[in-house]
């Protein structure tokens, strides 16, 4: 029986981040009413849909801002080898990401400081606490 059961929507894996919001009781009641009446599977489904609708509504402005601010869109990973190559070339990176920026766990704070001139992430940054601390004065 279980072999013919398929999820309607794939579960989010490590590609999402949990946030907390505060809603007024009336707004929350409206959300629950729509869930109860079957418009949405649950509160999270409603909130994700509302967010996506707003992003779609402002898509042109967002695209222009991505170009204007020269942002990398999506996932950008920086390995130790990537940063060592930057160091060997005598260069520094100006990292601008809309999405997820990740710095490998084996990157030392010293290597990060030597190779990353500035760091701006709209979304989420995954890096060790030591690397984040080392780059704190370079984050915008």
pLDDT digits (tens, 9 = 90+) for 37-89: 999 999 999 999 999 999 999 999 999 999 999 999 999 999 999 999 999 99
Percent of the chain's residues with pLDDT above 90? 86
Q: Which residues pair with 93 in a beta bridge?
A: 116
The average pLDDT across 109-116 equals 98
Q: What tokens appear for 58 in the block?
A: 């402002």
pTM score, two decimals? 0.73
| C-beta of residue 138 within 8 angstroms of C-beta of residue 118 | yes
Phi, psi of 103 (to 5 degrees): -115, 125
pLDDT confidence of residue 85: 98
Query: What is the domain partition of the chain in residue ranges?
Result: 22-57, 62-138
pLDDT confidence of residue 17: 84
The whole-angstrom separation of Cα 84 and Cα 92 is 11
pLDDT at 138 over 60: yes
pLDDT confidence of residue 83: 98
101: closest CA among 93, 90, 111, 92? 93
| C-beta of residue 17 within 8 angstroms of C-beta of residue 44 | no
pLDDT confidence of residue 3: 56
pLDDT at 111 over 90: yes
Number of H helices and E strands in the chain, helices first, is 6, 3
């Amino acid at each position: 029986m279980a072999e013919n059961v398929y999820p309607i929507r794939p579960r989010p894996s490590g590609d999402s981040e949990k946030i907390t919001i505060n809603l007024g009781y009336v707004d929350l009641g409206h959300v629950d009413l729509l869930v109860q009446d079957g418009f949405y599977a649950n509160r999270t489904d409603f909130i994700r849909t509302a967010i996506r609708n707003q992003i779609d509504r402002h898509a042109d402005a967002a695209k222009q801002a991505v170009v204007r601010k020269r942002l990398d869109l999506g996932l950008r990973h920086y390995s130790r080898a990537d940063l060592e190559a930057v160091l060997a070339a005598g260069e520094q990176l100006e990292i601008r990401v809309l999405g997820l920026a990740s710095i490998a766990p084996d990157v030392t704070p010293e290597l990060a400081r030597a190779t990353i001139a500035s760091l701006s992430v709209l979304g989420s940054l995954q890096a060790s606490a030591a690397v984040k601390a080392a780059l704190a004065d370079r984050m915008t």
